[in-house]
Amino acid sequence: MADMDASLKEIMQIDGAVGAAVADYTSGMALGTIGGTKDLDLAVAAAGNTDVVRAKLRAMEMLNIKETIEDILITLDTQYHMIRPLSGRAGKGLFLYVALLKTRANLAMARHQLRQIEASLDV
């Protein structure tokens, strides 16, 4: 089991990663961040993406969808933003967030690696 800091460092090893966070979508707080740029404030990104997670969960509830979210992908002109809610009781209410450069990232590999990192994360 890896702690949060080790997991965030591992996320930054994903090709194209420019920043990552572990956030609580109930409070909007970033519990840990790494990387970022002058244009990518990870605390702000984590807080903003809590609204994305909450909105999707509300929509699923209204549609009576009983499945769980594996990940949410937001595709921008030059970046991918991936949100992966943590499964398991210990991670309830938390999600992983990573911003990737499209020119360097392999989306399938990034999803695979993020899934593996989540499986070993101990929060």
* Per-residue pLDDT at 108: 95
The SS3 call for residue 45 is helix
* Per-residue pLDDT at 69: 93
* Per-residue pLDDT at 22: 94
pLDDT tens, 84-103?
998 765 567 899 999 999 99
**Rounded distance between C-alpha atoms, residue 11 and residue 67, angstroms:** 25
Give the number of C-alpha atoms closer than 13 A to the C-alpha of residue 33, restricted to the C-beta side. 18
The SS3 call for residue 83 is strand
With beta carbons less than 8 A apart as the criterion, state whether 95 and 53 touch.
yes
Q: Where are the domains of the chain?
A: 4-120
Residue 57 or 1, more confident: 57
- Domain 4-120 belongs to what architecture? 2-Layer Sandwich (3.30)
- In the structure, what pLDDT confidence band is assigned to residue 1 with cuts at 50, 70 and 90? low
pLDDT tens, 2-36?
788 899 999 999 999 999 999 999 999 999 999 98
